[in-house]
Amino acid sequence: KPIFLKDYRAPDYLFDKVNLTFELGEDYTTVTSSILVRPSHSGGSPPLILDGAEPKDLELVNVKVNGKALQTGDFERSQKKLTIVSPPAEAYTLEIETKIQPQNNTALEGLYKTSGNFCTQCEAEGFRRITFYQDRPDVMARYTVRIEGDAARYPVLLSNGNLAEQGDLEGGRHYAVWEDPFVKPCYLFALVAGQLTHTEDKFVTMSGKEVTLRIYVQEHNKDKTAYAMRSLQAAMKWDEDTFGREYDLDLFNIVAVDDFNMGAMENKSLNIFNSRLVLATPETATDGDYTSIEGVVGHEYFHNWTGNRVTCRDWFQLSLKEGLTVYRDQEFTSDMTSRAVTRIGDVQRLRMAQFPEDAGPMAHPVRPQSYIKMDNFYTLTVYEKGAEVVRMYETLLGKAGFRKGMDLYFERHDGQAVTCDDFLAAMRDANGADLGTFPLWYQQAGTPRLSITTHYDEAAKTFTLTTKQEVPPSAGQPVKQPMLLPVTVGLLGPDGADLPLSSVNGRPLAGPDGAAPTSTVLRVDQAEQTFTFDNIPARPVPSLLRNFSAPVRLTSDVTDEQLIFLLAHDSDPFNRWEAAQTLARKLMLDLVGKAQKGDTLQLAPAFVAALKDVLTDAALDKAFIARAISLPSQSELADMMAVADPDAIHAVHKFVTRTIAAELRAELQHAVDSNRTRDAYSPDTASKARRALKNTALGYLASLNEADITDMALADFRSSTNMTDQLAALAALAVNPGEARDTALAEFYEQWKGDGLVMNKWLGIQAASSLPGNVAHVRSLLEHPAFDMKNPNKVYALVGGFASAAVNFHARDGSGYEFLAEQVLKLDKINAQVASRMVSAFTRWRRYDDDRQSKAKAQLERIVRTEGLSENVYEIVSKSLEPA
């Protein structure tokens, strides 16, 4: 079953031109595909093997070669393939007619229906559910698409490229013909047909070309597209300014649909989005939603160059486009909002979700070496760690060097399907750089452990860092080599200012202006190394791994006092935040040990005092303060324990939260009061920052569960005029059981039951609750009219939300595991991709105690024994059960 990178072979046949005709219908849709096929090399004509789907999903009507129907024996149709046994040795036209039933397609890949409209999702391998094809990204063709459908039911007919022709047909039907002038792999094909309205704007490119921009939505959402449109225009401008990349067609379309497995899809000039990443009004979308919309609209737009113009040779190279495009969207968000706060959020996400993935049974390199189902490899490792790998080039080569590498990459590979090695070669060649062991980042799974010890030599005035790195073993990779890690460091003098770094290991350092820099990038590439800084007048406080310059688990001998000093003074804002987090992690893990022994808990006063200084520092960005006073997540702490103990972690989290709230009550109350405003909602960075601080403070206060705070939250809940504040108040009220909680949830439901996206938030808050015995409540919500098992967003909110609350998912009695297994088995029959995402919550099962392990294992075994299981779920579960 598994497919291996080492087995890659270039295709025997190329497809130069594809003409597709869709006759959309209510009972079935007919697809006629006419392909100009050309042998890729002379000599022999091996069988042409086309990918397809099971007969129940894809009915073959006929096959023709150069206009002549093939007879039995000339072709073979197996379960999922169509083979042309002995095709002509010269170029020829292959014509295939198939019938499909999009209206019954609940997998939401290929052509399917959502809210009565047709839409597609082809990446990674959905095109084979539409027609038989060489469904692989290194087969690139020019497409012409003709769509025919009922004019009343499907007034809007869209595909990639330019509209070439449209008109009416008999019987109330009409048609449109779309031509895409750029070659593309089939995963970038898209079709949309239905009752949609659009908003329109334009963008004038740097060379003066006018591009029409349209966002298509259902009629009732017409007033919710303004922010997405603004984001698109900002993204187009940013890619010109930052990377010199201009848009290449006269039209760019975005379509928002309610049923979508993932976030969004970069189909050439016809991006299709999960509606939660397009639709926004102040009343219905939170600040977080606004930020995501801007980021994802940017992400999909940036794919036009990093993904579409230059695509992947095979799916093992997915990070070539995804890691790079995530890096690009992170940079875009940094430039549009706050760079420091963006970086903090990105690292938090990496730590919370990618580090555990890298330490579990699904651990894989940024470029995986094998897979059973490609859809299982749209992972945090490929996306988020992949973006860190791209960021490391930037750190090693500098911003200008990185840009040179990007320019060369586009120059060399425009119109091609390439590999991660090609990207590396462009970066290396454009800079004449020695990248040493850097390529290992594409081969070795697992998060490197980096430990740093320091020594100050009073007499010699030198400061020495000793680094040790180790890449932990993972499935199939028992032994690993050290890799090149760029480690950015600065040294703080006694006054808190950065010391000039004149030389390291005897090599003089010079900043851009020739003067000694205050930060430098160390190339750490051995198992053990030392770096000695000269001319250090007094014992410094080291600021290590500034801006999180490499995705590693760092330990060091920096003391608690030094961390508090860094929190107060570091010129690198990321490391100020990191200092507070490192300290909090240490203190909390220590408390978890105490809680397990039943000892009384106490929180170090110095920590609370340091948080108070941050909270009351008027010079700091409020969004930064909100992040800096927030505790590490429970999953992050669990990930750091030898045997994760969700109950003790939860107890400690609650204790620390309440202690801080009690000790800093006045300051937190002030943060709430002084940041409440009557101003109309605006999603600008400063306004978002105010709300972030206010709502973080409110969350702390809510933990005290006192009547006056509850009254305040309920009043805020009722008077709020935007979703950010309303939802924050609801979340605060939902922490404590009781009448206020029930009232607020009921009022929220009454107010918003007509809005599916807002209902997902309502489901999510209840599902992810840590209140004891929540599984029963979540079960009852499965029957609620606000829930729908066929809608991925609702499943992610309710089932995914439940699995994210460790105390209930890992409940001692196994009820959480049983619940999840049941839902996975139900889902697997409907939508295997969604089922597979949900079952992934089990992958960490070995991190818990024996009793929990045996209960989780029993559920995994129950799943894997189930007949007719999808490959998607099978892959995750069988890998989870493999001996560690």
CA separation for the pair 175, 157 (Å, rounded)? 7
CA separation for the pair 149, 168 (Å, rounded)? 10
Specify whether the CB–CB gap between 114 and 260 falls below 8 A. Answer: yes
Shortest Å distance, C-beta 247 to ligand ARG: 17
Structure tokens at 40: 């890729």
Specify whether the CB–CB gap between 550 and 534 falls below 8 A. Answer: no
Q: Name the residue with the smallest CB distance to ligand ARG.
A: 378
Site for Zn ion in 294-323 (CB under 5 A): 322
Residue labelled with tokens 């609350």: 805
Number of residues in contact with ligand ARG under rule CB under 6 A: 11
Contact flag: residue 372 with ligand ARG (CB under 6 A): no
Contact flag: residue 375 with ligand ARG (CB under 6 A): yes
DSSP string for 411-447: HHHTT-EE-HHHHHHHHHHHHT---TTGGGGGT--SP
**Closest by alpha carbon to 262, among 401, 361, 121, 384?**
121
DSSP string for 521-536: EEEE-SSEEEEEE---
What does the DSSP 8-state code read for residue 64? E
Shortest Å distance, C-beta 601 to Zn ion: 44
* Residue 43, SS3 per DSSP: coil
Which of Zn ion, ligand ARG, none binds 378 (CB below 5-8 Å, type-dependent)?
Answer: ligand ARG
Site for ligand ARG in 377-396 (CB under 6 A): 378
Pairing assessment for the beta strands 251-257 and 270-274 based on DSSP bridges:
parallel
Instruction: Name every residue whose Cβ is closer than 8 Å to that of residue 606 and which is 6 or more positions away in sequence.
Output: 560, 561, 564
Which of ligand ARG, Zn ion, none binds 375 (CB below 5-8 Å, type-dependent)?
Answer: ligand ARG
Instruction: Name every residue whose Cβ is closer than 8 Å to that of residue 542 and which is 6 or more positions away in sequence.
Output: 452, 454, 463, 465, 489, 490, 491, 492, 556, 558, 562
Contact flag: residue 787 with ligand ARG (CB under 6 A): no
Shortest Å distance, C-beta 275 to ligand ARG: 15
Strand-pairing partners, residue 17, are 36, 142
Site for Zn ion in 318-347 (CB under 5 A): 322, 325
Contact flag: residue 300 with ligand ARG (CB under 6 A): yes
Residue from 148, 322, 331, 384 touching ligand ARG (CB under 6 A): that is 322
Specify whether the CB–CB gap between 424 and 438 falls below 8 A. Answer: yes
CA separation for the pair 839, 824 (Å, rounded)? 6
Shortest Å distance, C-beta 299 to Zn ion: 6
Structure tokens at 548: 């999180």
Shortest Å distance, C-beta 352 to ligand ARG: 19
Structure tokens at 296: 């994802």
DSSP string for 189-243: --EEEES-EEEEEEEE-TTS-EEEEEEEE-GGGGGG-HHHHHHHHHHHHHHHHHH
Shortest Å distance, C-beta 781 to Zn ion: 31
Which CB sits closer to Zn ion, 263 or 814? 263
Structure tokens at 39: 């042998």
Shortest Å distance, C-beta 322 to ligand ARG: 6
Number of residues in contact with Zn ion under rule CB under 5 A: 2
Which CB sits closer to Zn ion, 191 or 320? 320
Shortest Å distance, C-beta 265 to Zn ion: 8
Site for ligand ARG in 110-139 (CB under 6 A): 123-124
Specify whether the CB–CB gap between 582 and 416 falls below 8 A. Answer: no
Cβ-in-10-Å burial (0-12, 13-18, 19+) of 25 comes to: middle
- Cα dist. 858→81, 647, 842, 861 in Å? 36, 21, 11, 5
Exposure of 277 in the CB half-sphere (CA atoms within 13 A): 24
- Phi first, then psi: give them for residue 165, nearest 5 degrees: -165, 150
Q: Buried b vs exposed e over 428-440: b needs ≥16 C-beta within 10 Å?
A: bebbebebeebbb
Structure tokens at 623: 């969004």
Which CB sits closer to ligand ARG, 254 or 623? 254
Map residues 607-646 to x or -, x wherever contact with ligand ARG holds by CB under 6 A: ----------------------------------------
Map residues 344-373 to x or -, x wherever contact with Zn ion holds by CB under 5 A: ------------------------------
Which of Zn ion, ligand ARG, none binds 265 (CB below 5-8 Å, type-dependent)?
Answer: ligand ARG
Shortest Å distance, C-beta 263 to ligand ARG: 6
Shortest Å distance, C-beta 793 to Zn ion: 18
Exposure of 220 in the CB half-sphere (CA atoms within 13 A): 7
**Closest by alpha carbon to 221, among 202, 199, 200?**
199
CA separation for the pair 791, 810 (Å, rounded)? 25
Site for ligand ARG in 237-266 (CB under 6 A): 262, 264-266
CA separation for the pair 194, 176 (Å, rounded)? 13
Shortest Å distance, C-beta 350 to ligand ARG: 17
Structure tokens at 313: 């040779």
Catalytic residues: 300
Which of ligand ARG, Zn ion, none binds 546 (CB below 5-8 Å, type-dependent)?
Answer: none
Structure tokens at 185: 């792999």
Shortest Å distance, C-beta 399 to ligand ARG: 25
Specify whether the CB–CB gap between 89 and 241 falls below 8 A. Answer: no
User: Residue numbers of the site for ligand ARG (CB under 6 A)?
Assistant: 123-124, 262, 264-266, 299-300, 322, 375, 378
User: Residue numbers of the site for Zn ion (CB under 5 A)?
Assistant: 322, 325
